[in-house]
């Protein structure tokens, strides 16, 4: 199995690059943000529990997030690999993901960080907001989500770096150019 984490701030291009990777390597894409949005949109019990916290731009608790992720992984026993997007965001989530992968006799081989500055990300999200009108990208929430990333989520990176699983890619540039930088790492 090839299991990858794609890492980066909101608006770094994780979605775009993920689409390319799932096609090229035939991976199952699991985005915890998309899963939470599906639950809130469909008013599931879980959706109702996380709606407020998501609206605030803060992180959902590790317990809830890890349980949802685990369920989604276990629903897909036959896949040739996973691409995790938006997960892990805490060291505890990273450890839980390792435990889950080990229980399946596999592991996370690569964590690919798309490096984009805070300023660039703010510009991009403002543009995406204009185009898509995503509800969670309202300005105040946006600032909060970006803050969460640069103040908290980035602390997951040393965990992977110490284990030589982290690769950092410049996330500013053409889509194809960035995609090639990523596949060069994965194909090495």
Using CB under 6 A, list all residues that contact ligand AMP: 10, 32-33, 36, 53-54, 57-60, 65, 86-87, 89, 93, 145
Closest to ligand AMP by CB, 58 vs 120, is 58
Shortest distance, CB of residue 136 to ligand AMP, whole angstroms?
6
Shortest distance, CB of residue 153 to ligand AMP, whole angstroms?
8
Three-state SS for 166?
A: strand
* Residue nearest to ligand AMP according to CB distances in the complex: 33
Q: Encode burial over 90-128: b for 16+ CB neighbours within 10 A, e otherwise.
A: beebbebbbebbeeeeeebebbbbbebeeeebbebbeeb
How far is it, in rounded angstroms, from Cα 20 to Cα 23? 5
How far is it, in rounded angstroms, from Cα 85 to Cα 184? 19
Closest to ligand AMP by CB, 94 vs 182, is 94
Q: What residue ranges in the chain does DSSP mark as E strands?
A: 4-7, 28-31, 82-85, 110-115, 166-170
Shortest distance, CB of residue 93 to ligand AMP, whole angstroms?
6
**Contact yes or no for 163/110 (Cβ under 8 A):** no
Shortest distance, CB of residue 57 to ligand AMP, whole angstroms?
5
Closest to ligand AMP by CB, 60 vs 111, is 60
Closest to ligand AMP by CB, 93 vs 167, is 93
User: 45: left (phi > 0), else alpha (psi -120 to 50), else beta?
Assistant: alpha
Shortest distance, CB of residue 141 to ligand AMP, whole angstroms?
8
Closest to ligand AMP by CB, 89 vs 165, is 89
């Amino acid at each position: 199995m090839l299991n990858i984490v794609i890492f980066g701030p909101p608006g770094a291009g994780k979605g775009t690059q993920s689409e390319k990777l799932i096609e090229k390597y035939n991976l199952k894409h699991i985005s915890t943000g998309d899963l939470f949005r599906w639950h809130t949109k469909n008013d599931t019990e879980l959706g109702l529990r996380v709606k407020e916290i998501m609206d605030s731009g803060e992180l959902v608790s590790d317990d809830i997030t890890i349980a949802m992720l685990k369920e989604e992984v276990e629903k897909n026993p036959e896949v040739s690999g996973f691409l995790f997007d938006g997960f892990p965001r805490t060291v505890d989530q990273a450890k839980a993901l390792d435990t889950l992968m080990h229980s399946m006799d596999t592991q996370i081989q690569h964590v690919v960080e798309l490096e984009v500055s805070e300023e660039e990300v703010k510009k991009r999200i403002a543009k995406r907001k204009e185009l898509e009108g995503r509800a969670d990208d309202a300005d105040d929430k946006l600032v909060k989500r970006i803050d969460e990333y640069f103040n908290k989520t980035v602390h997951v990176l040393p965990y992977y770096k110490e284990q030589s699983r982290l690769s950092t890619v410049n996330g500013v540039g053409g889509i194809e150019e960035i995609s090639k930088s990523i596949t060069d790492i994965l194909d090495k």
